[in-house]
Amino acid sequence: MVIPPLRRKAMRDLRRLWAQALAIALVLAAGVATLILGNGAHRALSETRDRYYTDYRFADLFSDVVRAPLSLVEDMRRIEGVIRVEARIVKLGRPEIPGLAEPASVLLVSLPGEEGLNALHLRAGRLPDATAADEAVISQDFALAHGLQQGARLVVVMNGKRRALSVTGIALSPEFIYALGPGEIMPDPRRFGVVWLPRPALEQAFDLKGAFSNVVLGLAPGVSGAGVATALDRLTAPYGGGGATGRGDQISHAFLDAELRQLGAMVKILPPIFLLVAAMLVHMTLSRLITLEREQIGLLKALGYSPVQIARHYLEFVLLIAAAGILAGFAAGAWLGAGLAELYARFFSFPFLVFGTDPRVYGLAALVTALAAVAGALQSLRAVLALPPAIAMAPPVPADYRQSGHGILQAIPLRQTGRMVVRHLWHWPVRTASSVLGMAMAVAILVASLWSFGSIDHMIHVTFGLAERQDVKMIFTAPEPLRALSEVRHMPGVMAAEPFRVIPAKLVHGTRSKRVAVEGRSADARLSRVLAPDLRPMPMPADGLILSEALADAMALRRGDVVQVRFLEGKRTVVDLPVSGISVGFMGLGASMDLAALGRAAGEGPRISGANLLLDPDATPAFFAAAASAPKTGFLNVTDLTVSRFRATLAENITLMITVYVTLATIIAMGVVYNFSRIALSEQGRELASLRVLGFTRHEVAGVILLELAIVVLLAQPLGWLIGHGIGLAMVAAFSSDLYRVPFVMGREVYATASLIVLAAAILSALAIRGRVDRLDLIAVLKTRE
C-alpha cells in the first residue's frame, strides 16, 4: 500500500510532536467524556425510571383520607380518564429492632392486587398469603440495614399493639425509589422502611374493615391529572381527604426528577468549556507548526500542490489528534457513565439498570469535537496559505520588538531577562491571551466544583445550627389537643418542648398555586425558628404568613401581598392571609405562621402535630425507650442522625464528581501549560541558545521560559476565579428546585485550593520543559537556515 507523501508527513509530524498532540487529545477526550458521561447517566437513569414505572404500574395520583368506605372506589372508577383505582390501607408502625437505641418507624402498606398499581419487585422470597395475618414483605434497604432475610421475625407495634411478623420476602416498589421517613430530608434505612401486609391484617389492626385510608389512581395516557384530582378531591373531602397529589409532587419521584435535572444541567455547562479550551490549544499548536513549516509550505506550492491540498494535509493532522481524543473520550465517558449510573441505581433503589449506548450521543460528541478542532485550525491556515510560494519559502521577517510596549518597558524597572519575557508576551497578545484564558478555564472548573463543599456546610449550619436547633422532633400519629404537650414535657430527659402544627394547604396567587405544609409555631419558639435573610430569628406575626424565599419566588409574592390559603384537612377552610415576611430556607417550600392564628384560620381548636424537644444528653436513652412505648409517637427526627446521614450521602456523591472534575481540570492545566511552554521554547530556541553561548547558565536560561510561564499562570488566576464564580452561579440556578435550594457560598479557600491545584499542574509541566531546555543542542539551534 502506497502512502501519499502528505499523509506520511502528517504521521511524521505526529511522532515528532507527540507530547503536544497528546495534551490536545486529552483535553478533547475530557470534553467528549463529560458529554457522554452526563448524557449516558441521564439517559440510563431516565430510561430505567420510565421502564420501571411502566412495568410495575406506578400510579399517577395519590390521596390520603381518614377513613373512607370501599364503595367509594366505584365512584372513582367512573371519573373520566381513570383506568385503575387501588384503595389501600397505609399507616405508620414502630418496629422493635434489637440494639437500635433510637426508635425506628415503618410504613405499613396493604399489598397491591395482582394487576394493581405500584406492584412489588421481589428480590427474594415470596409474597405473603392473602389470608395470613402474620406474614409480610419488607423493603430491601431496610432489610439490608438490619440483616433481615426471608424467614426472619419482625415485631411491629401497630395501633398500640405488638404483632410478630414473619418475613416472607424482600421487595422494591416504584413508589419508594427514594424512601423518606416523615419530615426527613435524607433516606435512613436503619430507622425507616416499608412493610407490605395482606389487607385483612391491616384491617384488623387499625379497625378499617371495609374501608381504606389511601387511594392511588392510574390515568389514561394524555389525561390531565388536574381535572381528575379535582373530581377525586370532591369525592374524598367528606372522608377527611387531604387533597390529591400528582406524580410530580410524589416525594420519591420528585427527588429523582431533581437529580435528572442536575445531570442535564451538567451536560449543558461543562463540555463546551473543554471544547473551547481544546480549540484554543489546536490553534496555538497549529499556528506555530505552520509558522515553522512556512518554507516547506512554499516548497509544496512550488511543486504543484494546491492550497486546498495543503490545507487538507494540516486538517488531516488535526483530525488525527481529534480522532485519538474522541476515541479516548468514548472509552472514558462510557466507563464513567456506567459507574455513575450504577451509583444512582443503588442510591435510588432500582431493581435493574437500563444502560445502553445511544449512537446519536456518540455521533454528536464526535461531530462537535471535530468541529472544535477544525475551528481552531482554520484561522491558522488562512494567513499562510495566502502567501505566494516565493514569499512563503523565504524566512519570515524577524519580529520588531521596538514597537511592542516599548514605552511601558522603559517605565518598569526590569532585569534584562525579565524585559525579554514581557516583550515577547506583549508582542503576541492574542496567543498570550488565549493561553491565559485556557489556564483560567482550568481554574474556573475547579472553582465551580469546589464551592459546593462550603455551600453544604453553610446549608447545614443555617438549617440545623440556627433554624432547627432541637435534638428531636417528635411527630404524633395524629393531631392531638394542646394538653398532649404536657405529657411530652414529663417524659424522661425532656428539658424543653415546643409545640408545632402542620396542616397541608394549597396556596393560590393569581394563576400560580403551590401545595405546601403550613407550619404553626409558638410565638416565643426558641428551638425551631424562622430566619430572616440576614439569619436573624423572625417573630411569628399575630396574623399572616411568613414564606420562604423559594416559595415567594415561585408564586411571585412579596411582603404585603395577599395569598389565598385553601386548607386540605379538617374543615377545609379557605382564607386570605397577608404575607408578613420572607424567610431564608434551603429545604422545601416553607410557610409558617403563629400556632394560635393557624388554628383560627383552619377553623379548629388548639391542636398540635408534635413537639420539638431539647434533651438531657445523659437521659437520652431513657427518653427513646419511653418514646418507643408511647402510643402517640409516630416518628422521631433525631437531628444528629439527620445531619450525619446528610453529610455521608452527599460526601459519597460529591466526592465522586469532584474527583472527576479535578482530574479533568488538571488535564486542561497541564495541556495548556505544556503546549504554551513548548511553543515558547520552539520560538525562542535560537535566543536561548545564544544566551548559553554568551555565558548564561542553564538555570538562568531556563528561568526565561519559566518566568514567562509563571506570568501566564499568575495572570490566569483572577480571571479563572471570576469565570468559576459565574459557572457556580449558573450551576446553583440549574440545581435548585422546589425540594431544596442550594446556597451559593464561595469562600477564599475555594479560590486558594483551585489555584494550588493548577499551580501544581503547571509546576509538573515546567519541570518537563526545564529538561528540554537543559538538552538544547547549541550547534543545531544556532545554524543559519538557508
Average pLDDT over residues 582-594: 86
pLDDT in tens, 24-58: 788 788 778 877 877 777 788 888 899 999 999 99
Q: How far apart are CA 546 and CA 578, in angstroms?
A: 9
Q: What is the pLDDT, as a whole number, of residue 336?
A: 78
> For residues 580 and 360, which has the higher predicted lDDT (pLDDT)?
580
> For residues 622 and 276, which has the higher predicted lDDT (pLDDT)?
622
Cα-Cα-Cα-Cα torsion 611, 615, 621, 623, nearest 10 degrees, comes to -40
Q: How far apart are CA 322 and CA 338, in angstroms?
A: 24
Q: Give the DSSP H or E segment for 354.
A: none
Q: What is the pLDDT, as a whole number, of residue 699?
A: 76
Average pLDDT over residues 293-318: 77
Chain center to CA of 228: 33
Q: Are 170 and 143 spatial neighbours (Cβ–Cβ below 8 Å)?
A: yes
Q: How far apart are CA 326 and CA 339, in angstroms?
A: 20
Cα-Cα-Cα-Cα torsion 110, 116, 117, 121, nearest 10 degrees, comes to 80
Q: How far apart are CA 434 and CA 666, in angstroms?
A: 17
Q: How far apart are CA 457 and CA 463, in angstroms?
A: 10
Average pLDDT over residues 145-162: 89
Q: What is the pLDDT, as a whole number, of residue 153?
A: 92
Whether residue 786 has pLDDT greater than 50 = no
Contacts of residue 574, Cβ cutoff 8 Å, sequence gap at least 6: 564, 565, 566, 567
Please name which of 116, 104, 77 lies closest in space to residue 199, comparing C-alpha atoms: 116
Whether residue 777 has pLDDT greater than 70 = no
Q: What is the pLDDT, as a whole number, of residue 245?
A: 86
Q: What is the pLDDT, as a whole number, of residue 186?
A: 78
Per the prediction, the chain carries an average pLDDT of 82
DSSP per position, 428-466: -HHHHHHHHHHHHHHHHHHHHHHHHHHHHHHHHIIIIII
Q: Are 708 and 421 spatial neighbours (Cβ–Cβ below 8 Å)?
A: yes
Q: Give the DSSP H or E segment for 91.
A: strand 90-96
> For residues 633 and 507, which has the higher predicted lDDT (pLDDT)?
507
Whether residue 409 has pLDDT greater than 60 = no
Confidence band for 424, pLDDT divided at 50, 70 and 90: low
Q: Are 597 and 503 spatial neighbours (Cβ–Cβ below 8 Å)?
A: no
CA distances to 393, 504, 728 from 557, rounded to whole Å, are 72, 19, 26
Q: What percent of the chain has pLDDT over 90?
A: 22
Lowest mean pLDDT of 259-263, 658-662, 708-712, name the range: 658-662
Q: How far apart are CA 364 and CA 361, in angstroms?
A: 5
Please name which of 443, 23, 448, 440 lies closest in space to residue 269, comparing C-alpha atoms: 448
Mapped onto helix, strand or coil, the DSSP state of residue 758 is helix
Q: How far apart are CA 633 and CA 407, in angstroms?
A: 81
pLDDT in tens, 540-578: 888 889 999 888 888 888 998 999 999 888 788 899 999
> For residues 378 and 135, which has the higher predicted lDDT (pLDDT)?
135
Mapped onto helix, strand or coil, the DSSP state of residue 283 is helix
Measured on CA atoms in the order 65, 71, 72, 74, is the torsion positive or negative? positive
Burial class, 686, CB count within 10 angstroms (exposed 0-12 / middle 13-18 / buried 19+): middle
Whether residue 459 has pLDDT greater than 80 = yes
Q: Are 31 and 278 spatial neighbours (Cβ–Cβ below 8 Å)?
A: yes
Q: What percent of the chain has pLDDT over 70?
A: 86
Cα-Cα-Cα-Cα torsion 664, 666, 667, 670, nearest 10 degrees, comes to 160
Chain center to CA of 136: 36
Whether residue 406 has pLDDT greater than 60 = no
Residue that the C-alpha cell 494546491 belongs to: 306
Q: What is the pLDDT, as a whole number, of residue 39?
A: 78
Q: How far apart are CA 691 and CA 684, in angstroms?
A: 11
Q: Are 108 and 477 spatial neighbours (Cβ–Cβ below 8 Å)?
A: no
Whether residue 613 has pLDDT greater than 90 = yes
Q: What is the DSSP letter of 86?
A: E
Whether residue 329 has pLDDT greater than 80 = yes
pLDDT in tens, 179-190: 888 777 778 888
Full-model pTM: 0.77
Whether residue 651 has pLDDT greater than 70 = no
Q: How many residues does the chain have?
A: 786
According to the 3-state scheme, what is the secondary structure of 644-662? HHHHHHHHHHHHHHHHHHH
User: Grid coordinates representing 575?
Assistant: 382564607
Q: What is the pLDDT, as a whole number, of residue 391?
A: 63
Q: Where are the domains of the chain?
A: 1-59+251-392, 93-207, 399-467+643-786, 468-642
Average pLDDT over residues 169-173: 94
Residue 351, Cβ neighbours under 10 Å: how many? 19
Max distance between CA atoms of the chain, in angstroms, equals 103
Contacts of residue 467, Cβ cutoff 8 Å, sequence gap at least 6: 528, 529, 530, 531, 585
pLDDT in tens, 73-120: 999 999 999 999 999 999 988 898 888 877 888 999 999 988 889 999
> For residues 363 and 287, which has the higher predicted lDDT (pLDDT)?
363
Confidence band for 217, pLDDT divided at 50, 70 and 90: very high
Please name which of 515, 502, 513, 508 lies closest in space to residue 611, comparing C-alpha atoms: 502
Confidence band for 395, pLDDT divided at 50, 70 and 90: low
First-residue to last-residue Cα distance in the chain: 35
Quickly list H helices, 359-516. Answer: 359-385, 389-393, 406-411, 416-427, 429-460, 484-489
> For residues 616 and 102, which has the higher predicted lDDT (pLDDT)?
616
Whether residue 708 has pLDDT greater than 50 = yes
